[in-house]
Amino acid sequence: MIITNVNEGKKARYSMKGTRLTIENQVSIDLEERQSDVQKVIDVCLDNQLQTMREGLGAWYVATIIIPPIQRLLAGTGEYDENDNEVMSEIELPLDMNKVELRLWGLPEEYGQEESIDEGVTE
């Protein structure tokens, strides 16, 4: 996987298991399932309170994932047509993780800090 740091600052933690990318233990994406005939771009962002991370646009970018299009290979089927030409078939190749790019954005300083002020709690 190609890792690009877009800007300065602390970056989100991520892990890979096979083709599944997990960011900050909050967002998990199977990259091979998302691969299609065209390049796919997936954004992971924080909400307005800078607490909840989710896939899609939000108030603060955390990561941008770029998945290359499905690659196909022509292979002979072992059969021949009426003109004695070999019949070919397209085979989808598995996702090449070396071509996937993960762009990491700097996290806001406020991210992950516990709220230290009681917000109107009465007993």
pLDDT tens readout for residues 50-104: 888 999 999 999 999 999 999 999 998 899 999 999 999 999 999 999 999 999 9
Rounded Cα distance, 20 and 35, in Å: 12
Task: Kindly indicate the confidence band of residue 118, based on its pLDDT and cuts at 50, 70 and 90.
Answer: very low
Rounded average pLDDT over 2-24: 96
Q: Give the residue, 56 or 123, on which the prediction is more confident.
A: 56
Q: Give the residue, 51 or 117, on which the prediction is more confident.
A: 51
120, two tokens: 């109107």
The structure's pTM equals: 0.81
- Delimit the domains of the chain by residue range: 2-68+98-104
Q: Under a CB-based contact definition with an 8 Å cutoff, are residues 100 and 34 in contact?
A: no
